[in-house]
Amino acid sequence: MDEMPKMMVAFDPDALASLNARLDALTAEIRAVRMSPMPEWVTAHEYAERIGRTTKTVSNLVKAGKLESKRQGRTLLIRVSQGA
């Protein structure tokens, strides 16, 4: 197999240091992320934002029996696993 010819490339040391610092910061952010499962139930407001509709529309979908919901105190919760 033929070897690729070797090349020399010049970089600005300050630009390279800045790039390395940014990579270090991004690596730290990635390592800090902790994944958690999505909640099974969300508020009507959160559900409305997810589907790009108003809270009133979500309430109407609940009244029409198209979404599973429950009350937690005065808060209306919608099961996320459903689509509108």
For residue 1, what pLDDT is reported? 63
**23 DSSP assignment:** H
CB 46 within 8 A of CB 53: no
pLDDT at position 61 over 70:
yes
pTM (two decimals): 0.54
Name residue 14's amino acid: D
Confidence of residue 70 (pLDDT cuts 50, 70, 90): very high
Name residue 34's amino acid: R
C-alpha–C-alpha distance, residues 2 and 37, integer Å: 49
Name residue 54's amino acid: T
pLDDT at position 45 over 60:
yes
